Amino acid sequence: MRNMFSLEGKSVAVIGAGSGIGRAVAFGVANQGGEVLSLDVNTEAAAETARVITERGGAAASGHCDITDLTSVRDAIVNASWKAKQLDGVVCTPAINVRKPILKYTSEEFERVVKVNLLGNFHVLQAAGQLMTAQGFGSIVLFSSIRSIVTEPGQSVYSMTKAGILQLVKTAATEWGTTGVRVNAVGPGVIETPLTAPIKNNKEWFEAYAAKSAFNRWGKPEEMVGPTLFLASDAASFVTGTIIYADGGWLAQDGRFTPPGM
């Protein structure tokens, strides 16, 4: 049964591998025996992730990938496949957020968030799908969020894009299932990453978010590795068109008040 979760002999391109969850996932792929194609808009950060993996005895290469540019994405995916002689998995983690009330949002801010979070993921999905449907196998994992289900003031556009990613995943899964390609999403809760650093620096905000978790804490990037690698591995061979929420119980509970006698 342990072999079901192994990535031995598999190659996985991780987009966003230069930092945060993407970097943790890249290390996780290597730890499971997979070859890592470390991709990021920050070429130096991608190269550093690959360097650490190879120093630890793993197999890794790196490259540039700007998910807002379709040509960049296609080139990165094709190069990754060429280097590894096949491409078994693609994981895409990047996202941005502009927290503002709807009435204060500008068109430019709207377009910037949508361009990265929604159009960018569509580019990855399309480029990876073209390659994998042709080769007849593969697993694509995009990153959605708890914000695909629940939201809060200031999260309108971010939440919209994360819900949109989930629908892209479901649609791609229905279109490509007969070709042997699986498409799924991971839905993190609040994780300690560069994206959430401003919240962590605000004690009241940080503690409020911690209290929303059943564990009364934030998640770590490393805690997103397991769900992601499950979806990339043969253990998930009959799993497609769905999302795994790794949110510490955020969606399961309604507040943290415990009634007397409980």
DSSP state string for 128-180: HHHHHHHHT-EEEEEE--GGGT---TT-HHHHHHHHHHHHHHHHHHHHHGGGT
Query: What is the pLDDT at residue 260?
Result: 61
Catalytic site residue from 10, 100, 144, 158: 158
- Residues in the chain predicted with pLDDT less than 70, given as ranges, are 1-2, 255-262
Q: Which CATH architecture has domain 2-245?
A: 3-Layer(aba) Sandwich (3.40)
What gap in Å lies between CA 70 and CA 75, rounded to an integer? Answer: 8
pLDDT at 238: 98
Domain ranges of the chain: 2-245
**Residue 199 pLDDT:** 82
Gap between the terminal Cα atoms of the chain: 39
Residue 158 bears catalytic tag? yes
At residue 201, the pLDDT reads 83
Other Cβ atoms within 10 Å of 27 Cβ, number: 23
- For tokens 């697993």, the residue is 139
User: Rounded distance, CA 34 to CA 22, Å?
Assistant: 15
145 is catalytic: yes
**What does the alpha-carbon distance between residue 253 and residue 216 come to, in Å, rounded to a whole number?**
12
Distances (CA, A) of 52 to 17, 48, 123, 221: 12, 6, 28, 17
Q: What is the 3-state secondary structure (H, E, C) of 111-142?
A: HHHHHHHHHHHHHHHHHHHHHHHHHCCEEEEE
Q: Are strands 89-92 and 60-64 parallel, antiparallel or unpaired?
A: unpaired
User: Helix (H) and strand (E) counts for the chain?
Assistant: 9, 7
What is the Rg, in whole angstroms, of the alpha carbon atoms belonging to the chain? 18
* Beta strand 138-143 pairing with 60-64: unpaired
Amino acid 215 reads F
70: which DSSP letter?
H
Which of the residues 72, 162, 213, 245 is marked catalytic?
A: 162
- Give the pLDDT confidence score for residue 261 in this predicted structure: 61
Q: Looking at residue 223, what DSSP letter applies?
A: G
Residue listed under structure tokens 């004690």: 203
Please say if 162 is a catalytic residue.
yes
Residue 23: closest CA among 221, 178, 240: 221
Q: Which of 139, 144, 145, 148 is catalytic?
A: 145
pTM for this model (two decimals): 0.95
Q: 63 - beta bridge partners?
A: 39
Nearest to 69 by CA among 1, 15, 13: 15
